[in-house]
Structure 1
Amino acid sequence: MIYHMIAFGLGFCLDLLLGDPYWLPHPIRVIGNFIGILEKRMNKKECSEKYLVRAGIGMVALVLLTVLMVTALLLILAYRIHPVAGVILEMIMTYQILATKCLKVESMKVYNCLKENDLIAARHAVSMIVGRDTGRLDETGVAKAAIETVAENTSDGVIAPMLYTALGGPVLGFFYKAVNTMDSMVGYKNERYLHFGRAAAKFDDICNYIPSRISAYLMIAGTHFLGKEYDGKHAYYIYKRDRYHHASPNSAQTEAVCAGALSIQLAGDAWYFGKLVKKPFIGDALRPVEYEDIRRANRLLYATAFLCEGICLLVMGLLFFI
């Protein structure tokens, strides 16, 4: 437990310091490439719906078993060599599982473009972090897209993987990241992935059900550490009212908190793969959305991440001493 605590804490610090430099090989890219290879071989248009659903289940099982086995084997070998080697490897793995700084860096690229009144560059920057079509977005639409991504990925990219890693080390942490990566790659309700990606999308919903709700309450708590720009009471009110205003049972949980905390309105209709998708609004338009809200959303992200990290270490410490 003490080795796990040290690696867990240092991994979080490394994420805050380094983020995800493009030059550094990342295991999530390897997992993504593996998913891409399997998808091309198993997702065949000419096959029946039943086959595609089964093939999707098979892909999920194969990816998760591979990730579990490889991660567990590497950690076992490292700890057998020496506890210090085990801690170092676990620390690096924990760092690679979390995405706090990466989320901030990528969203702040959008912020900087909007600040410089470069809408074309802002659309390109936000297209790197969202799944929707960005060519039609105006300045407000681009800002909203970036804010929604920060809010949603506070759970998916930071709190959920942190909770899984705290619970089961990098083995469970990478298990979650593999689930999330599969959903982001094939979990779409379009012609290509409707049947094949169903298992990945449903399993992602299951794995995120509890973490997304924990993330929401941690985010509400985080508003109380950030000053007058954030309204904790309104965040809780909008969370209770709008947390299911999304096709996913989990995505609107933290989006609702963020919208309420910043007193803005998020979501609404959006274009995906050339088709307009009708979506309900989240939050109340008490004031217009502005690009500074991207920076505010990132502050809320960091407050939530620090709260979760502190609580996880406290719980692990109590278990160790008990």
Structure 2
Amino acid sequence: MTLLDLLPWLALPTAFFLDACFGDPRRLPHPVRWMGRAIEIAEPFFRRLLAREFLAGLVFAAVLILGCWGLAAGTVFMSYRIHGALGFAVETVLLFYCFSARSLAQAGLEIHALLVNGKVDQARAKVAMIVGRDVEQYQADDIGRATVETVAENAVDGVLAPLFFAVIGGAPLAMAYKMVNTLDSMVGYKNPRYLFFGRAAARIDDAANFLPARLAVPLIALAAWLIGAAGRSALVTAWHEGRRHASPNAGYPEAAFAGALGVRLNGPNTYGGVLVEKPYIGVGLAAVRTCHIRQACRLMFATSVLGCAVGWLMSLAVFL
């Protein structure tokens, strides 16, 4: 076995390492931004193509997801045909763009630093950029809770789910997942414009995250134990309270984080001026404080490293 034979197996850890070192390269072209642009361009076409909104949205989502997979698969295949090193480089770069562990940690720690320095207004403005709720009345502890929830949920969306799909289908399937996730973030809303047209995208996203969200729980628990947090409590809280969330998936990582950190998450929030009553996750645990943001970022990163290691070993077992 030569080094060229090993290169496809090395793409995943190399991509994760690059993300851990450099994060989101904002000054460089990014496929997710291209996905967003493709969604904006395609939406009016499919709305005109089919009169029934749900059917139009279903075809719209399917074409974009399959098109993204096909484009990535063709690019990776042709790159490996030209030379193994080129294929490795292309697959590594595509996977690198799928992960966001460092960017997520940076966003959380930036808010933490602002709160520590008493800059609540600036922290509120930052958290408004990463959550969909009304935050105008949020004080330091509310901002901390929203940040911890975002770190917990995006540990799956931004790291573990792309890892999951990369292990079973390489960079093309990971890129297809990013399209699924981007579609949900842009059209998966229950408002008059997207109630029917975006329903298929939202359901596809729910299905894509079903296994990653649940597989995340033991990873979070083990990572918590390794860094000295409450690993057993993470498992217990996720088991008993993971379903206490409007999303069929987000509650599991949030509950695992709540148990690991010993904090209470979720609860009532205001969206567009309307108060939405939501159950708490981590009932009986302490309220989130500013210090928990740093702990959540540390737990997210430890979980991401552990997930990459497990996924890498699984891919090696298949490769060999």
Same fold, judged at TM 0.5 (above):
yes
Task: Give per-residue Cα distances to partners, 1:195-245, cap 9 Å, x unaligned.
Answer: 111101111111111111001111011111112xx2122212211111011
Q: Is the 8 A contact 1:126 1:145 kept in 2?
A: yes
Structure 2 residue aligned with 1:60:
61
What is the distance in 2 between the residues matched to 1:279 and 1:192?
24
Query: Residues 260 and 284 of structure 1 are in contact (CA less than 8 Å); yes or no, is this contact kept in structure 2?
Result: no
Name the residue aligned to 1:22.
26
> What is the deviation of 1:40?
4.2
Q: How far apart in 1 are the matches of 2:40 and 2:202? A: 16
Moved more, 305-314 or 10-19: 305-314
Matched residues in 1 for 2:263 and 2:314: separation?
Answer: 35
Residue in structure 2 matched with residue 217 of structure 1 by the alignment: 218
1:186 and 1:133 mapped to 2: Cα distance?
Answer: 19
Tell me the distance in 2 between the aligned counterparts of 1:235 and 1:312: 21
Structure 2 counterpart of 1:119? 120
Query: In 2, are the aligned partners of 1:159 and 1:308 still within 8 Å (CA)?
Result: yes
Match of 2:6 in 1: 2
Q: CA deviation at 1:41?
A: 4.4
Per-residue CA distance 1:21-76 (angstroms, 9 max, x = gap): 321211001001111222344458xx99x711111101101211220121112112
1:76 is aligned to 77
* CA deviation vs aligned residue, 1:89-139 (integer Å, no higher than 9, x gap): 111111111111011111222111111111211111112211222212221
Q: Output the amino acid matched with 2:8.
A: H
Q: Tell whether 2:98 aligns with 1:94.
A: no
SS of residue paired to 1:224? helix
Note the 1:116-265 alignment, pairs <5 A. 116-227=117-228, 230-265=229-264
Alignment-derived partner of residue 317 in structure 1: 316
Contact preservation (8 Å) 1:239, 1:257: yes
The RMSD of aligned alpha carbons is: 1.7
Deviation sequence 1:145-168 (CA, Å, 0-9, x none):
110010001111100101101111
Select the residue among 16, 32, 35 that pairs with 1:31: 35
CA distance in 2, matches of 1:11, 1:61: 27
Q: Give unpaired runs (5+ residues) of structure 1.
A: none
TM-score w.r.t. the length of structure 1 is: 0.94
In 1, Cα distance between the equivalents of 2:26 and 2:309? Answer: 29
C-alpha separation between the residues in 2 aligned to 1:287 and 1:32? Answer: 39
Take 2:255 and 2:211, find their aligned partners in 1: how far apart are those partners?
Answer: 16
Aligned to 1:274: 273
Q: Which amino acid aligns with 1:234?
A: S
SS of structure 1 residue aligned to 2:275:
strand
Structure 1 consecutive aligned stretches of length 4 or more whose deviation exceeds 6 Å: none
More deviation in 184-193 or 291-300?
Answer: 184-193
Q: Give SS of 2:220's match.
A: helix
Aligned length: 316
